[in-house]
Amino acid sequence: MMKPSYLATALSAVAGAALLLLSGCGTKGEGASAPSANNKEMVERGRYLAKAGDCAACHTTPSGATYAGGVELSSPYGKFYGTNITPDKEHGIGTWSRDDFYQALHDGKAPGKTLYPAMPYTSYRGLSREDSDALYAYFMQLKPAAVPNREPDLKFPYNMRFGMGIWNMMFLQDKLSDASTGSSAEWKRGQYLTNTLGHCAECHTPRGALGQMDLSRTLTGNRMARIGATDITPAGLSAAGWTPHDMQTFLATGVAPQGSATGEMFEVVHMSTRHMKPEDLKAMTTYLFGDKPLAPQALKPVALTGADIDAGKRTYIAVCAGCHSLDGGGKPHVAVAMKGNTSVRSTDPHNLIAVTLDGIKAQHFGEQESMQEMPGFAGKLSDKEVTDLVNFLRASWGGQSAKVTEAQVRAIREEGGGQH
């Protein structure tokens, strides 16, 4: 469930999320119909759908006009930029018809060009025409912003846009596979919100060699950007200790006993899910867990022995316990618990190491919840100290054996990231 998707590391950028509606905005289409702005109910429905789809994450910069584009989306193939989806007739979608808009979402085709899957039409293909028209009505009544678009800056041959036609023939599917099972009305509603509008699979599903989603492993997690998207299949959630109640709380507030939303998931919660109706969040949760949820797995005790574990404990007491508490229980509105934290109990230590090195910016989820800034320790702790600390955390409160090596820490340090 996270914005700018793994397409940011394949044939596109984003992800995490992201309703990158128009990688080719600014091309004028013929026959643009009058916007449906007079239909207040439809506009309000579109406003809600735009929140649920996290459109602003890719189309609004912190200092820019709403939905005027400009968000930079990096990928191994170059850079994409969120486009202007205001009704400006020169740079935005002011000349687009409802049919043009639907075709962009359904087929990845804008007037005059084929879109890159940085705009996740691979998920939006399942969007109903009614919801597409509501989104169109909402965007078309916004204040036009005369902000020029930036063309993607891509390496050869990825800058050959015509190749997307072939890619679509090979990989564009009418329906995504399901990781859970269910048949209830709530499960079906959650399926639509999660797979289509929320486009969660774009980040949480592994990719093939050509950037296509591997739908045989839907939602099993994927390394994207600095923080990887975790396994959110029913089995993966059970292994990480999640319950449906905790997940719904997490989507609504950004914080749960398993941790807080970090990386691109922070923007998903901050800009999208916390604004959604409780019944829709419950439906998404039902879909993720299935109609018959698995029980959360209990933490397995791990023996804490050895000089390295002792060294890790000393480092924790010196630099972590002040916020996360000596017993790893965390402090409300200050720092999350280490005990049972998803990153701590994951078999893959990557996210835990990256956060330890980079830190986390202050997280303000709204009036209900916030977390203080966590400083990064890349400049304060050596590879050996980070290794010992991570192994102490995993063995103490994650039920994982202390097998992280200095080589792993060094590799993640060298990948990049920074201190906040």
Classify 369 as helix, strand or coil: coil
On average, the pLDDT of the chain sits at: 88
Element (H, E) at 114: strand 113-114
Q: What is the pLDDT of residues 60-91, one digit of tens each?
A: 999 999 999 999 887 777 889 999 999 999 99
Residues 248-260 as b/e (b if ≥16 CB within 10 A, e otherwise) read bbbbbbbbbbbbb
Residue whose pair of structure tokens reads 């600014």 in the numeric block: 26
| Least confident stretch, 359-368, 377-386, 405-414 | 359-368
Give the mean pLDDT of 377-393: 97
pLDDT above 90 covers a percentage of the chain that reads 74
- pLDDT confidence of residue 14: 32
DSSP string, 4-63: B-GGGGTTS---BB-----TTTTPPPSSPPPP-TT-HHHHHHHHHHHHHTTTHHHHB-TT
CB 290 within 8 A of CB 234: yes
- What superfamily does domain 307-415 belong to in CATH? Cytochrome c-like domain (1.10.760.10)
Domains of the chain by residue range: 1-297, 307-415
Closest Cα partner for 387 from 408, 401, 415? Answer: 408
Quick one: 300 exposed, middle or buried, by C-beta within 10 A (0-12, 13-18, 19+)? exposed
> Is it the case that residue 194 has pLDDT exceeding 70?
yes
Q: Phi/psi of residue 301, each to 5°? A: -65, 140
Cis preceding-peptide flag for 301 (omega within 30 of 0)? no
User: 160 versus 367: which is more confidently predicted?
Assistant: 160
At 379 the pLDDT is 95
Which helix H or strand E contains 113, and what residues bound it?
strand 113-114
- In 67-171, which residue ranges form alpha helices assigned H by DSSP? 98-107, 121-124, 129-140, 163-171
Going across the sheet that includes 72-75, the strands are 72-75, 78-81, 153-154
pLDDT in tens, 136-154: 999 999 999 999 999 999 8
| β-bridge partners, 363 | 371
How many C-beta atoms lie closer than 10 Å to residue 347's C-beta?
Answer: 12
Residue type present at position 37: A
Q: Tell me, what's the pLDDT at 25?
A: 39
| Residue 149 to residue 23: CA distance in whole angstroms | 9
Percent pLDDT > 70 in the chain is 90
Evaluate whether 260 touches 363 at the Cβ level (below 8 Å): yes
**pLDDT tier for residue 21 given thresholds of 50, 70 and 90:** very low
Is the model more confident about 240 or about 118? 240
pLDDT score at 415? 87
pLDDT value of residue 5: 36
Residue 229, φ and ψ in degrees, nearest 5:
-80, 130
Mean per-residue pLDDT, 375-387 = 97
The Cα 320–Cα 168 span in angstroms is 48
Beta strand spans in 230-360 (E):
255-256, 259-260
R_g of the chain, CA atoms, integer Å: 22
